[in-house]
Amino acid sequence: MPYRLYQLIERAARRTPDALALLWRDHTLTYAELWTRVERFAASLQALDVQRGDRVAVYLPKQFETVIALFGSNRADAVFIPINPQLKPDQVRHILVNAGARLLITSAQRAGQLTQALREVPSLQGVVLVDGAIELPVPGWPWDELPQQALQPARNIDIDLAALLYTSGSTGLPKGVMLSQRNLLCGAESVAEYLRNDQHDRILALLPLSFDYGLSQLTTAFCVGASVVLFDYLLPRDVLKAAAKYEVTGLAGVPPLWNQLVQLDWPSEVAKTMRFITNTGGAMPTATLAKLREILPNTRVI
């Protein structure tokens, strides 16, 4: 078992370099391609003088750069902080201040909305923009123009802090949950085992990557060399269309989503490919569970 999180991708790239790691819209990345980009981003962070234990926040929807930034930060010995892309500027500012973020990875549009907030984060030394350049109150670098240097060896060990995942803040301000390399790796291995994941799985990533089970959609897949479809949806019907389009074998959801999905007509292709579905974030209503088992008679419900 690896003892650093990024090694899940590195190991898969060595075993099955041509296997698909990520699908996003009509684009794909193999494990070899993903690993190359993770290493390149890690080298850029080192060139920007990001040090071991520095906090790197990622405020983006699900796209290739989001995954590369998270795992590239891990390769550079930094602590990554996935921020829910639905959060408003004041909420983002609180997380950046509370975490002591040194670097923020986001889009030009989102950075523009954070202009005032960025002035109020004393630890912040710069912003990486994945889609261009705008004027900001802190230094900024376009993703495609990041500095490069030879990648230095990783120094983190299994008990070192790997990530800060912030709670929803439903009973107060969001609080950062500290997760070590070992926490995340053991979680990935455990979940992949009970879901019986293997390299043939294709997981539809619906949940936010800032949510523990959302991040687990990546780590469990990478643990076994499976594929992940990065997907943000507007309507429940979009989920079923995506499941059919990408021939999804695994889907994680929360009770409100399942309650909506069982009211829809499911494409026949979904039942043919869906090997398992899994519920988190609350108890599955009995009636919803019964309906799901009727729609998906050959699918494991976990």
pTM exceeding 0.85: yes
Q: What is the enclosing helix (H) or strand (E) of 202?
A: strand 202-205
- For residue 274, report the phi and psi dihedrals to the nearest 5 degrees: -75, 110
Give the pLDDT score at 38.
98
**Percent of the chain predicted with pLDDT > 90:** 96
Instruction: Give the whole-number percent of the chain exceeding pLDDT 70.
Output: 100
Q: Using CA atoms, how far apart are residues 208 and 231, in angstroms rounded to an integer? A: 10
pLDDT (tens digit per residue) in 116-167: 999 999 999 999 999 988 999 999 999 999 999 999 999 999 999 999 999 9
Query: Which of 84, 14, 87, 73 is CA-nearest to residue 38?
Result: 73
19-72, pLDDT tens digit by residue? 999 999 999 999 999 999 999 999 999 999 999 999 999 999 999 999 999 999
Q: What's the CA gap between 13 and 131, in Å, rounded? A: 27
Chain mean position to CA 264: 28
Residue 165 near residue 176 (C-beta atoms within 8 A): yes
* Residue 168 pLDDT level (bands cut at 50, 70, 90): confident
First to last CA, the chain: 25
Does the pLDDT at position 1 exceed 80?
no
Q: How far apart are CA 283 and CA 18, in angstroms?
A: 39
Q: Give the pLDDT of residue 2.
A: 84
Q: What is the pLDDT of residue 12?
A: 98
